[in-house]
Amino acid sequence: MKLRVLSGIQPTADSFHLGNWLGALRQWVRLQDTHDAFYCIVDQHAITGNYDPKLLADRTLSAFAQLLALGLDPQKSTIFVQSHVPEHSQLQWVLSCLTGFGEASRMTQFKDKSQKDGAERATVGLFTYPILQAADILIYRANQVPVGEDQKQHLELTRDLAQRFNTTYGETLVPPETLVLSEGSKVLDLTNPSAKMSKSAPAGCVFLLDDEPAVTKKFMSAVTDSGSAIEFDPQNKAGVANLLTILASVSGRGVSDWVNEFSGKGYGELKKAVAQAVTQQVTEPTRTKANELLKDRGQLIKLLNDGAVKARSVAGETLNNVYQKVGFLK
């Protein structure tokens, strides 16, 4: 029996970014060969903050096209849209009734996001977001969840909720393991290497659908430091270490190899090499393929419908089991 993995990604921008790819999506692609893989475009999570309803459906479809362009294969993985599988939010309600208010208040992503936009404007949806995330995972009884470092706390909550459910109602849910890569699990903002790369700060964010001039411009303006030596020192030279990590991850050659290669050379040369590697290996092929796939929307929608049917057959089993354990009348 193969282990099962599940992961999710939000369709909140026109394009995924390099952090999504290095921290999570490249793991997704690899795992579909060894695992029973479920991958979800989490459109319900995408409406917890300010968003444009006119763009959401197109972004969801573009997200799917990008996942296929990056190498996900609907023959190997079950790929689907969260709102097409209502069992996620049905399980969320049950899990909400097991989640402490204080426990949910301690989620750092909620604290960060609600502080940024003003606490008064934060929605209850943003507050309960991690419980929906837990439901996304637990409804498939997934064993492992490949994510970037920023999701670790949500995964701890997921495990706690699974265990609490099992203690309260009897063995039903599977507490999952978090799969975080040792390299690339936290890609930093190119213009502000003290923050993670994020779509909400587009200047320092390389989008997978950016064209070659945009990618080159962003790397060439990356913030490094006032020194000149190319060394891997994440504490004191975060910007340079970030560039080296990106280069190593994209090229498949180790960081120390690249440090040797650039010995005696300047930051400009490093930036040029990273820009070239990212464009050739990641952004150009993804952009070309995704745009090609988006020409046949009907086919993409059909594949997503097939994915939802497969997902619902597993999710439905878990939900039946959960409803029975909770004591709902059948």
Chain residues binding ligand TYM by CB under 6 A are 6-10, 19-20, 22-24, 42, 45, 133, 136-137, 145, 147-148, 150-151, 185-187, 196-197
CA dihedral 30, 38, 12, 304 (to 10 degrees): 110
Which C-beta is closer to ligand TYM: that of 10 or that of 99?
10
Return the beta strands (E) in 51-191 as ranges: 77-81, 144-146, 177-179
- Shortest approach of ligand TYM to residue 295 CB, angstroms? 25
- Residue 142 phi/psi, 5-degree rounding, is -70, 140
The end-to-end CA distance of the chain, in Å, is 31
Q: One of 2, 76, 199, 271 is an active-site residue; which one?
A: 199
Among 34, 12, 39, which residue's Cα sits nearest to residue 24?
39
Among 129, 10, 117, which residue's Cα sits nearest to residue 59?
10
Which C-beta is closer to ligand TYM: that of 78 or that of 185?
185
Cα–Cα distance for residue pair 209/59, rounded to 1 Å: 12
Element (H, E) at 178: strand 177-179
76 belongs to the catalytic site: no
237 belongs to the catalytic site: no
- Shortest approach of ligand TYM to residue 125 CB, angstroms? 13
- Shortest approach of ligand TYM to residue 46 CB, angstroms? 8
Q: One of 186, 196, 237, 271 is an active-site residue; which one?
A: 196
Which C-beta is closer to ligand TYM: that of 134 or that of 275?
134
- Shortest approach of ligand TYM to residue 24 CB, angstroms? 3
Q: Is 193 helix (H, G, I), strand (E, B) or coil?
A: coil
Q: Is 6 helix (H, G, I), strand (E, B) or coil?
A: strand
Q: One of 2, 76, 111, 113 is an active-site residue; which one?
A: 113
Among 236, 151, 242, 150, which residue's Cα sits nearest to residue 205?
242
- Shortest approach of ligand TYM to residue 152 CB, angstroms? 9
289 belongs to the catalytic site: no
Which C-beta is closer to ligand TYM: that of 19 or that of 307?
19
User: For the sheet containing 177-179, what is the strand order?
Assistant: 77-81, 36-41, 4-9, 144-146, 177-179
Cα–Cα distance for residue pair 32/25, rounded to 1 Å: 11
Which C-beta is closer to ligand TYM: that of 229 or that of 234?
234
Active site residues: 113, 196, 199
